[in-house]
Amino acid sequence: MRRLAATLLAVTSFVLGVRSSHAQVRPAHSLFPMPGPVGPQLPAPSPAPHDAGWRNSTVLGLSSGLGSPYGLLGAFVGFFPLQHLQLEVGGGYSTSFGPAVSALGRVGFNPGNSSFLALGVGLSTNFTDYQYAENCEAPGNGLLASRCSPPGVPRVAEGSANPIWLNFEASEDVRLGRSVGGRIAAGVGFLLNPGDFPAALGCASEGLGQTPCEVGASRARDEITWLLHVRIDLYAVIVQGTPLTR
């Protein structure tokens, strides 16, 4: 009996030991499992600016102004090779000096995606046919014919010239969305070759803008010929530029 009891006790101890080892190996199950490792997150792409940038953009527009290098009515094409630089060429018709062509460069100050404040410098010329009296203060007015010097029949200067103007201006561009823009500009032009116009004693009338006769009168008085201008431009962006990155 003692041997049987000892045998049963040994078997029971062995079985309990095996179960205990199995219990230690079995993984514990949690009621709230932890999430696994998270993979690397890619940054969300930043949205592109709503408006087009200036660099590498090309514009085509119409211009209207007084004393403008593009004339009373004109057209132009502009290109922005750099964020702060604009190059522009254009032409139009002037009532005083005839057809005009112009080239201009502008440097922008802190341009954004929708505005471009700039200072510009350029050259322009006209294809001018002139006709005026050299020796009369008021040619064509019979009441003042005695003001010709010497008195008598007016001596008429007639010919063609190409006045060359050195132009300076300040301007502000505004992009109205991605495809349309506008500009207001004001400046001054200085005539570089007044000697191409015969000197004149005077002119019948001297209005807001220079005329070939007034150039001749300024030359006779040894005065610098200059002309203020103001202009409004509207243009379409025909080649979209690179948006400004911030």
- What pLDDT, in 10s, does the model give residues 119-135? 999 999 999 999 888 88
CB 61 within 8 A of CB 221: no
SS3 content of the chain, % helix, strand, coil (to 5): 15, 45, 40
The pLDDT of residue 3 is 58
* Residue 28 one-letter amino acid: A
- Band (200; pLDDT cuts 50, 70, 90): confident
Q: Which residue has the higher pLDDT, 81 or 151?
A: 81
Q: What is the mean pLDDT of residues 50-79?
A: 88
Highest mean pLDDT among 12-21, 44-53, 234-243: 234-243
Is pLDDT larger for residue 147 or for residue 176?
A: 176
pLDDT of residue 242: 73
The sign of the torsion formed by the CA atoms of 196, 198, 199, 200 equals negative
190, 225 in Cβ contact below 8 A?
yes
* Domains of the chain, start order: 58-239 (2.40.160.20)
Confidence band (pLDDT; 50, 70, 90) for 48? very low
pLDDT above 70 (res 1) = no
